[in-house]
Structure 1
Amino acid sequence: MENRKVYMNYHNNLLSLEEHIYELVDVVQPNVFRNLFPYDEIPKIAFNDRIVPHNMPESIWITDTTFRDGQQSRAPYTTEQIVTIFDYLHRLGGPNGIIRASEFFLYSKKDRDAVYKCMERGYEFPEVTSWIRASKQDFELVKDLGIKETGILVSCSDYHIFYKMKMTRSQAMEHYLSIVRECLETGVAPRCHLEDITRSDIHGFVIPFCFELMKLGIEYGIPVKIRACDTMGYGVNFAGAVIPRSVQGIIYCLLTHAGVPSEQLEWHGHNDFYKAVTNSTTAWLYGASGVNCSLFGIGERTGNTPLEAMVFEYAQLRGSLDGMDTTVITELAEYFKKEIGYKIPHRTPFVGKNFNVTRAGIHADGLLKNEEIYNIFDTEKFLNRPVLVSVSNTSGLAGIAHWMNTYYKLKGESMLDKTNPLVNKIKLLVDKEYEEGRITVMTDAELIEMINTYKSEYNVDLPNINVTLD
């Protein structure tokens, strides 16, 4: 204690005591935290009430793994689809590049063709980065393509080190450092993916390993990035929870003990316990500049942190979209549905078919009077998604007219009011349904079928829309 230096912490302008230097603990038996992760029981969330301070970085951003982790859980995208989605990400991230980077596989010709085409776009953001096997041949491939940064897998829990890699901690650390050194010697910036960090020995392996990584970065003059990967979704955002499950505890340790700067630190979450979004936000709040996401959360098992969710988390934390174009989210959802054939669950926030559709009669009445009562924000402005009210026996003429105007996107003089004969006809048909004992709301497909049947008779010019009962 007496040998530790006192220095000024310019983050909070307080005198601080130099942190303890953690050395590698090379255990004989793996520490798999069986007290927290008993495989034949539900995992435990334990607390020691050690609280770390908020530490929001000056700049925060999103990185994308749609073409890497997102492709590990579904049929591979075509080259054309990848380029189109990349264009959408560029528009969504806006001129300030809030979507900072996107990572790509390089294994196949299709993957490399997509990388070439995306780089030819000449966008500053998202930056094209890669994910490779830890081999000299792959490093050279990254360099030949002109990619400046690549991800490297460095699994950090004893589950992986002992059971998968069949190594000791010291052997794994020596192996990883040699790989990172090879990458640095090619002039490529490594992004070290600390797989399974929420089941790792933070003080006994992660901190000393990351400390050595930071030293390598200084030696080669190339920043080494750290991606903290909550591979199994075990992370929790509760204040005072113990590591390795505490997100804020992990971020604090990496910043304070391992010396990783915020701009070199990002969080990669999975949604196994429904915590991907809150854990990613927590990583921002406690010092990670980056959160790694996938469009619509498509990823391994339960998926990754949804990119579109973090766009709105960013806006809520910063008080501004900082140039992001959120209407692109709706365009992306339509593209995935129509061109890729991906079915987004109807209740998915921001992009699901029913995310801003009100079905309860009393809620619908409130919406008709003032949509702010039951809509989260101006969804028409930010997502080109006007609020919808489902039609039922309580909707009335005004409710049916509102549904038709909204669904068909009728504006100004084209809008229908409750005196319109077609509106009255549809109400009669709806009332008949409920008189015969119906108790559920009318589906879009049923209403459109009614409208298609009678619109010509009542001389109402509406486009033909085919909706399936899905």
Structure 2
Amino acid sequence: MLELAKRNNLLEARNFEYALQDIDEPQLYREHFPYTEVPRIAFNHRVVPIHMPDKIWITDTTFRDGQQSRAPYTVEQIVQLFTFLHRLGGPKGLIRQSEFFLYSKQDRAAVEACRALGYDFPEITGWIRASQKDFRLVKEMEIQETGILVSCSDYHIFQKLKMKRSQAMEHYLGVVRMALDLGIRVRCHLEDITRADIYGFVIPFAIELRKLSEQTGIPLKLRVCDTMGYGISTPGVAIPRSVGGIIYGLLHHAGFPSERLEWHGHNDFYRAVSNASAAWLYGASSVNCSLLGIGERTGNCPLEAMVFEYAQLRGTLDGMDSRIITEIARYYEKELGYRIPPRTPFLGSDFNITRAGIHADGILKNEEIYNIFNTEKILDRPVTVAISNLSGASGVAHWLQQNHPELSDEQRGKTSAPVQAIKAWIDRQYEEGRVTSIADAELESQLQVQLGAQSAGKL
């Protein structure tokens, strides 16, 4: 069948048939994943086209995957974080959904408390085991959408479930039918897809899911789970590790539209952000993230990172209030006792601090030289200079300009007497063996000494 594609007005072949390959032994892709060695990145030089959807958005798993690797949040903490997500997402609701556990009394209380806030976004969704009892729980709580696990690699099908592919597919389809019969929207979590047989199992299974959706009129979603962080965004990489190849297959061969494709990636190989961006670029409308990237093992894709990926790809924040990210960081550290590594982009205490004197001199002349963007406007975080033996007079002058705007240029310029005297004091500290940075309180004390001496005519 030939079909005129709307995105490029070209006739495209659509008569692809992908049947389940029901093999007797698992396909473990040992050439890619030897296990006793580092995984290998293989290329087949097949390049699929970039296909950015008309609309893209972010979904959240802070209260599901994010809670699997830390002490559970209290109801009050979940409500506060959910409120942050709502404010961060802006009036267009670009943080579209947030998923919750439903099992304990505390889980359900958190759902009810967040629902009582009356927000349209993020929409509250569930995550459950694939059982009739759990589906009844979703129905009783009037949750409109829930995620269920449909593991798709032979590692899981053969070695965990102890099934063959045909048995696993029939089991999964039966569970999905059960949910659809209850009128529940299902989000199928294709676990471990970057080690799965994409055209031997995933695409045939996805085609059957699409047929079920068409028969019932209830839209099914696919969450594309890079469970082990094996995904690669580089063009020309062979499946099953190719992010673009996987999204292309589900979009073009399984027939799922962009708005029903969601990427969920882990950071085992430092690729969570680049892979999520690639999923957007190649046709998935949604990327699933957690606040601060907190999640299983090395964590999920950090939600705050994708706010800035969105802005870079679209050329606008589209109403998202990025200043809330700084509020979130402060809340995690002060209220939750979570230590954010100081050099964490956008969040860490040092992310826009410079220590080198030559950099401080550049910032003193124009902060744009050494600051990634206007961090004061966009993140409510002014660029700062940490004072050490490397800061020089420029660093001291910049600290004075930030902290004491009431001083005159003659008092806070880098050639001024107070700045030169403070710098001389700093130099003596390090000549005597100091190795730590100079604290703000120490600088304040020295400033008062020098200003006092200046007013007494001693400088």
**Does TM, normalized by the shorter one, top 0.5?**
yes
**In the alignment, what sits opposite 2:455?**
none
Letter in 2 for 1:95: P
Aligned equivalent of 2:341, options 318, 339, 345: 345
Q: Where do residues 84-103 of structure 1 align in structure 2 (5 Å cutoff)?
A: 84-103=80-99
**CA–CA separation in structure 2 for the residues paired with 1:109 and 1:405:** 53
> Which SS does the other structure have where 1:26 is aligned?
coil
From 17, 34, 39, the equivalent of 1:43 is 39
- Residue in structure 2 matched with residue 271 of structure 1 by the alignment: 267
Distance across 1 between alignment mates of 2:249 and 2:265: 18
Secondary structure, aligned partner of 2:55 = coil
Matched, 1:448 2:425: no
Is the contact between residue 262 and residue 284 of structure 2 (CA under 8 Å) also seen in structure 1? yes
Runs (5+) with no aligned partner, structure 1: 461-470
For 2:280, what is the secondary structure of its paired residue? helix
Q: Which residue of 2 aligns with 1:252?
A: 248
* TM superposition shift of 1:9: 1.5
Query: Residue 320 in 1 paired to residue 312 in 2?
Result: no
Residue 66 of structure 2 corresponds to residue 70 of structure 1: yes
Question: What does residue 467 of structure 1 align with?
Answer: none
Q: Give the Cα separation in 2 of the matches to 1:383 and 1:336.
A: 16
Q: Matched residues in 1 for 2:379 and 2:431: separation?
A: 37
Residues 356, 390 of structure 2: 8 Å contact kept: no
Alpha-carbon contact 1:398-1:417 (below 8 Å) kept: no
Cα 1:404–1:105, aligned 2, differ >3 Å: closer, same or farther? farther
Specify whether residues 404 and 65 from structure 1 end up closer, same or farther in structure 2 by C-alpha distance, changes over 3 A only.
Answer: farther
Number of the residue aligned with 2:280: 284
Shift of 1:426: 3.7
Structure 1 residue 334 and structure 2 residue 330: aligned? yes
Give 2:296's aligned amino acid: E
Q: Closer, same or farther in 2 for the Cα pair 1:214/1:102, shift >3 Å?
A: same
Contact 2:400–2:412 (Cα < 8 Å) also in 1: no
Offset at 1:414? Answer: 9.7
Q: 1:296 Cα shift?
A: 0.8
Structure 2 residue 138 is matched with structure 1 residue 146: no
The range that moved more, 147-156 or 425-434, is 425-434
Identity %: 63
Residues 3 and 13, structure 2, Cα contact 8 Å, conserved in 1: yes
* Alpha-carbon offset, residue 388 of structure 1: 1.2
Does the 8 A contact of 1:364 with 1:390 survive in 2?
no
**Alpha carbon RMSD of aligned pairs, Å?**
2.0
Work out the CA distance in 1 between the residues paired with 2:262 and 2:342. Answer: 30
Structure 1 counterpart of 2:110: 114
Call closer, same or farther: CA 1:353–1:178 in 2, change over 3 Å.
same
Change beyond 3 A, Cα 1:68–1:394: closer
Task: Using the TM superposition, give the Cα deviation of residue 218 of structure 1 relative to its aligned residue in structure 2, in angstroms.
Answer: 1.2
Compute the displacement of 1:269 (Å).
0.4
Structure 2 contact 357–395 (Cα < 8 Å) conserved: no
Paired with 1:425 and 1:108, the residues of 2 have a C-alpha distance of 62
CA distance in 1, matches of 2:368, 2:49: 35
| Structure 1 equivalent of residue 360 of structure 2 | 364
Out of 284, 289, 293, the position equivalent to 1:293 is 289
- Could you tell me how far apart the structure 2 residues matched to 1:246 and 1:70 are? 25
Query: What's the CA shift for 1:456?
Result: 6.6
Structure 1 residues 457 and 101, CA, compared in 2 at 3 Å: closer, same or farther?
same
Q: Distance in 2 between matches of 1:394 and 1:181?
A: 65
Is the Cα–Cα contact under 8 Å of residues 82 and 114 in structure 1 kept in the other structure? yes
Distance 1:434 1:18, change over 3 A: same
* TM-score, structure 1 normalization: 0.92
Residues 1:306 and 2:298 are matched in the alignment: no
Kept in 2: contact 1:426–1:450 (CA 8 A) = no
1:468 maps to: none
Per the TM alignment, residue 339 of structure 1 is displaced from its structure 2 partner at its CA by 0.2
In structure 2, what is the Cα distance between the partners aligned to 1:456 and 1:366? 26
Matched residue pairs, number? 450
* Residue number in structure 2 paired with 1:177: 173
- Normalization by structure 2: what TM-score? 0.94
SS in 1 for 2:245: helix
